[in-house]
Amino acid sequence: MAVIVREKRILSGREVVVKIYKSKHLVTRADKEQAEQLDRFLEEKMKEISREMKESGLLKLKGKKGVLKLWYEIGKRLSFISDKNIVPEDDREFIWQALYDHAGDLHPGKSRMNRPKTNYFRYCILIAQFDWDLVKTSDWTSWVEFLDSKRIREDRRIIEWLLRRSKEKPSKEWVEFTKGSRQDWIRKLTKPIRHRFRRRATTELTDEELFSELDDIFNEIYSSCE
């Protein structure tokens, strides 16, 4: 199959948008038709999400302080991307750029549109997998920074640790740590986590070892904040 993305080209002296059929194979007419069908589906879907966001008033948050809720809700609605029947695995790496093409009002900016692993729509889907209660304790910028770490993206237990620390009887220190300062707490944690596991795969650590190291990180930061 193939995925249609759009790029600007100068043709006969004029700037025009051309359709590129991204695929790992030569594009036959059958592939072309399927790609066009997918393209129409994505266009409709993005319009529908955009309409919903507008009606719920969330779209107004774009570029503002509480934008996290907008991206969280978009992420929930983009979960269809992981459905193999809609997007074949071979084409998944190209789908993100296509989402950007059809994003309209939802367009998060071009800076990451060609990055299959670290683009904003993918992050929307990732954070939408967690409870809003956890997600809302920080802000979008800090979550992006958090998810930019390969180790964190690859080991779900780090997020689970966050969940546990915040939900299961959060300690007095944790409450103090997270309250009020919003973006700060997750940002303060991200850096030392990235630093500590820069060369180490956390997946080789047992739950106990990983959580103990993460607790250490937390305690170090907490004590330095006091």
Partner 1 sequence: MSNSIESYVPREELRDTIIGWKNIVEQIVDAYRVRRGLVHGVQKDAIQNAWDARVYKKGKEWKITFELVEQGGRAYFVITDRGTYGLTGRILTKEEMESEEKLPENERWGRFEGLGFLKAPLGGTLGARGRGKFVFVGASKTNTIVYDSLRIDGSYRSGFRYVTRTRSPVWAGDEKKGKSKLIEVTGGVFKPLDVVGTRVIIVDPCEELITDVASGLFMRYIEETWWEIIQKYQAKIIMRARGRQRVAQMPAGFDLPEEDTKKYRVWIKNNKKVSIGKTTFKIRKLHIVNKRSGNVPDDIRGVAMQRGGMKICCIDPPRYIPWEIAKSIYGFITLDQQTEEGLLEAQAEDVEHYSYDFRKTLPNAIRRYIEDEMAKFAKEKLGWRVDARTIRRQMQREAERLALTMINKFAREIGISTGPGGGGGGGGKEWKKIRLQTMQPEFPRKDSLRVNYGESLKNISTCVINDTPDQIVVRFKLFIRRGDQEIKTFDEQDVTLDPSSRSQLFGPFQEDFSQDKYPETGKYIIVARIRSLMSENKGEELDEKRLSVYVEEDPPGRGLFEKCQAVEVEDLKLYPMMGQAILGESKGYIFEYNLAHPAYKAVGEDRSSLAEYLFRLMGYELCRIDLEQEEPRLFTKSYKEKAADALFKMNEIVGLLMFRYYSESA
Report the interface residues with partner 1, using CB under 8 A: 2, 9, 11-12, 14, 16, 18-29, 32, 89-90, 93, 197, 199-205, 209
Which residues sit opposite 3 in a β-bridge?
A: 22
What is the distance between the alpha carbons of residues 126 and 136, in angstroms, rounded to a whole number?
14
Closest to 194 measured CA to CA, from 159, 157, 151: 151
Cβ nearer to partner 1, comparing 203 with 219? 203
User: Nearest approach, Cβ of 108 to partner 1 (angstroms)?
Assistant: 23
What is the distance between the alpha carbons of residues 27 and 7, in angstroms, rounded to a whole number?
18
Q: Could you tell me which residues come within 8 angstroms of residue 174 by beta carbon, excluding any fewer than 6 positions away?
A: 165, 166, 218
Identify the helix (H) or strand (E) that includes residue 14. Answer: strand 14-22
Cβ nearer to partner 1, comparing 32 with 47? 32
User: Nearest approach, Cβ of 211 to partner 1 (angstroms)?
Assistant: 14
Closest to 143 measured CA to CA, from 152, 202, 179: 152
| Beta-carbon count within 10 A of 4 CB | 22
User: Nearest approach, Cβ of 157 to partner 1 (angstroms)?
Assistant: 12
User: Nearest approach, Cβ of 185 to partner 1 (angstroms)?
Assistant: 25
User: Nearest approach, Cβ of 84 to partner 1 (angstroms)?
Assistant: 10
Question: Contact 145/190 with Cβ under 8 angstroms?
Answer: yes
| Beta-carbon count within 10 A of 153 CB | 17
Cβ nearer to partner 1, comparing 136 with 196? 196
Cβ nearer to partner 1, comparing 27 with 134? 27
Cβ nearer to partner 1, comparing 118 with 137? 118
